[in-house]
Amino acid sequence: MAIVKRKKVKRIRLTSKHQIQAEIDSHYGEEPTWEGRQFDNAEDLKYAVLRALNWYNACSTDKMWRKYIVEYAKHINMKSDDVASLKTLELRAFNHTGAGLARMASLGASLPESDQSLVDTHIKALLQYAGIKQTEKDAKDNADIKSVVDYTNEKASIYIGMLERIIDEFVTADGKHEFDAYSWFTSNDIKPLFITKIRDHFEPLLVELKLAKSDKSSDEAEAYSFITPRKLTKFIELVDDIISSGKSAKANAKTAKKPRKRKVFPSIKRLQRSNTKRNFRNYKSSRLIPLKSSGLRFL
């Protein structure tokens, strides 16, 4: 049987950033410098700018384009808020040519008028884009955040709507109902805060119904004239049951507490806390060193 030899796996050598930069410098040369450089005419300056752009396109990473723009913004003493907004933009928002030209200007290059205009236009567009992104973010945050009052009113209105549907069914029916208000409050787990809102909503209705029954107010009596006296009495009992049951459910409501988590001590700690603490040293040595255990020599 032939023995198959495994091929040796070639390991990839990891190089540091300094080694990578040294390789780039040896191949492409060092970054172009501009201090003390003078050009005879505009064509020479334009040619030097194009050569520098080629170097930046070959040697720069996506993060470096953003870095060039931010450094240029600091170089021209831009507002700190604008600089911070430029830092938050995604990498794909930065134009390579504009960022490369901004880098040259930061290093002291006197760019041609057209190139300088391109840099200024690019930074202006970036700031506008950052403003749009910030506006969208603020609008989303304001839409997501709902105040406690709005949440309470919205939740309470849902419960009130459920109870009003039950009342409407009672009014349209023959005056009989099998609605247990207390069971409704407890089964739906209505919180005390919502119970207060429900009670505040139905208490004025109870006052109107009692005035209509007593004939003390002609307006209320006329408003509920379509209901028979017997049905009106049942109506009052239903609304009163909702209010009183809500009070009872609120009084009996208890906040459920999580059971306290029991502390788990290691066995060595439990032994130290036990009554045999005095004999702990002898016990530990006999447990960990079997040769010194009692009766072992006899065995």
Residue 162 CB neighbour total at 10 angstroms: 12
| pLDDT tens digit sequence for 201-246 | 888 888 888 888 777 666 777 777 777 888 888 888 888 888 888 8
Nearest by Cα to 190 from 149, 250, 239, 240: 250
User: How many angstroms from the chain centroid is the CA of residue 151?
Assistant: 19
Question: Contact, 245 vs 182, CB < 8 A?
Answer: yes
Q: What phi-psi label fits residue 257: left (phi over 0), alpha (psi between -120 and 50 degrees) or beta?
A: beta
Residue 68 CB neighbour total at 10 angstroms: 23
Most confident of 111-125, 139-153, 214-228, 255-269: 111-125
Q: How far apart are CA 76 and CA 68, in angstroms?
A: 13
Q: How far apart are CA 104 and CA 57, in angstroms?
A: 13
User: How many angstroms from the chain centroid is the CA of residue 11?
Assistant: 42
User: Where are the extended beta strands (E) located within the chain?
Assistant: none
Q: Is the pLDDT confidence value at 290 over 60?
A: no
Angle at 60 between CA 53 and CA 47, to 5 degrees: 10
| pLDDT tens digit sequence for 80-134 | 999 999 998 998 889 999 999 999 999 988 889 999 999 999 999 999 999 888 8
Number of H helices, E strands in the chain: 13, 0
Sole residue written with tokens 């010194």: 292
Rounded to two decimals, the pTM is 0.45
Amino acid at 154: E
* pLDDT attached to residue 272: 60
Q: Is the pLDDT confidence value at 2 over 70?
A: no
User: How many angstroms from the chain centroid is the CA of residue 164?
Assistant: 37
Band of pLDDT at residue 65, cut at 50, 70 and 90:
very high
Q: Is the pLDDT confidence value at 193 over 60?
A: yes
Angle at 294 between CA 288 and CA 299, to 5 degrees: 105
Write the DSSP symbol of residue 286.
H
Q: Is the pLDDT confidence value at 185 over 70?
A: yes
Burial 88-101 (b: 16+ CB within 10 A, else e): ebeeebbbeebbbb
**Torsion (CA) 269, 275, 278, 280 in degrees, nearest 10:** -40
Angle at 166 between CA 162 and CA 171, to 5 degrees: 140
Question: Contact, 127 vs 83, CB < 8 A?
Answer: no
Q: How far apart are CA 97 and CA 192, in angstroms?
A: 64
Residue 4 CB neighbour total at 10 angstroms: 6
Angle at 88 between CA 82 and CA 93, to 5 degrees: 95
* pLDDT attached to residue 100: 92
Write the DSSP symbol of residue 290.
G
